[in-house]
Amino acid sequence: MSGEPVGNIYYGTSSWTDQTLLKSKAFYPADANRPEQRLRFYAEHFPLVEVDATFYALPSERNAGLWAQRTPDDFVFNVKAYGLMTHHAVATRSLPEPIRDMLPADAAEKTARFVDICDQFGLPVANFVDVPGFVIGTDAERAGTALDKAQTAVSARRDVLETELRQHAAGGEQTAEALRACAHEEAELQGRLKRASEAVTGAEVAAQQVRDSAADTERELNGLAAKLGLEPQPAAEPLPEEEREALNQRVERLIRRREQLGPVNPLAKQEYEEAVAHVEELETQREDLESALAELEGLIKETDRRIREAFEILASSGVDAIVQAGTDLAVADLAEDAERSLRRPVIPINTATYWSSLRRSGIDDRCAGFGSLLAEH
């Protein structure tokens, strides 16, 4: 198989270091025992490979560069999307350090992480148009409505003053001063209302975040209580400060230990059970093979014993030589010992056939260990 695609169809496997592929020992040569050697060999036979490690952690620039150097220019890496990009839970420790440092310590809730990341990179989450009377929150709506009414009253007052200015030219300067004062008052009123609206909006957003956090905490508490078989009841009294601090420190230690474990394989237990079952099956097969081998060795010994007995019976009858016929019986290894004990030639048919073929081919070599025919003639 070559590493070229078939038309516009690219084919390959999931990872060039897949354990099933390595354990089979049917693909990589024996000297390809390092990942870079396996990648080069793999790229000679396939035009594409899936990279699944990128689901758990973003690849380093160095590793990505080495992959490219060890493969042809047209080789394709089908990179699996990072877990956060597909709304899966991924440990924040797997993020690059510059991005991880931008996140606050409590940025664990998905929405908070999304907003924080957008803020760090200056990405707009939403745009609100400043429409009087349309702002977030009940108190803010009232403030916006009051601002709208005030603007209407000021506009009406300005219209009256402008009319009076046209009717009373002599008092024009006084009216102009009143208009300027009114405009200044309007600007101050708008500024105060805007600041009040922003404060109310910020307070409501913060309150909603607190409510969301409390709801998440309650769900986690209910889940933990269910696992422990307890009722999720609130304590009669708040925890003492020292006990609360000790529990917080314990939780922080557990979080650090969990992060040190790195990405967790959710199928690890299933894979372990399958591996144990496979080992048990292999152990059973090994025991069956050992039992069959012992039985076969016993059968061979019994067959040899019966052949020797037959040779002794024949020798006792006064024959000059013993010729064993039947090519399906292995007697060549017994011939030399039988000749020494019986003191007469013992010629197995397979040995005679081999001897005849050698001599007819002009090969006169002698061979010890299989009787006098091959050793002396």
d(CA 313, CA 295) in angstroms, rounded, equals: 27
Give me the mean pLDDT over the 210-222 stretch.
80
The model's pLDDT over 145-174, given as tens digits with 9 standing for 90+, comes to: 455 456 566 666 766 776 776 666 555 566
Listed range (15-24, 140-149, 156-165, 187-196) with the worst mean pLDDT: 140-149
Residues ≥6 apart with Cβ < 8 Å to 109: 212, 213, 216
Of the pLDDT bands very low, low, confident and very high (cuts 50, 70, 90), residue 134 is very low
Interatomic CA distance for residues 335 and 318, integer angstroms = 18
Q: Is the pLDDT of residue 306 over 90?
A: no
Q: Rounded to whole angstroms, how far apart are CA atoms 126 and 122? A: 12
- The reported pLDDT for the residue numbered 130 is 36
208 contacts: CB under 8 Å, gap ≥ 6: none
Top mean-pLDDT range of 12-26, 151-165, 325-339? 12-26
- Whole-model pTM over 0.85: no
State mean pLDDT over 101-130.
53
Q: Which of 188, 189, 193, 192 is nearest to 135 (CA)?
A: 193
pLDDT tens string 261-286:
777 777 788 888 889 989 998 998 89
Q: Comparing C-alpha atoms, which of 91, 115, 143, 108 is closest to residue 264?
A: 91
As a whole-number percent, the residues of the chain with pLDDT over 70 amount to: 75
Among 101-115, 210-224, 237-251, 255-269, the least confident range: 101-115
Rounded (5°) CA angle 299-301-307? 100
Q: Which is more confidently placed, 100 or 148?
A: 100
Q: Report whether pLDDT(22) > 90.
A: no
Of 6, 64, 67, nearest to 42 by C-alpha is 67
CATH of region 270-376 = 3.40.50.12500
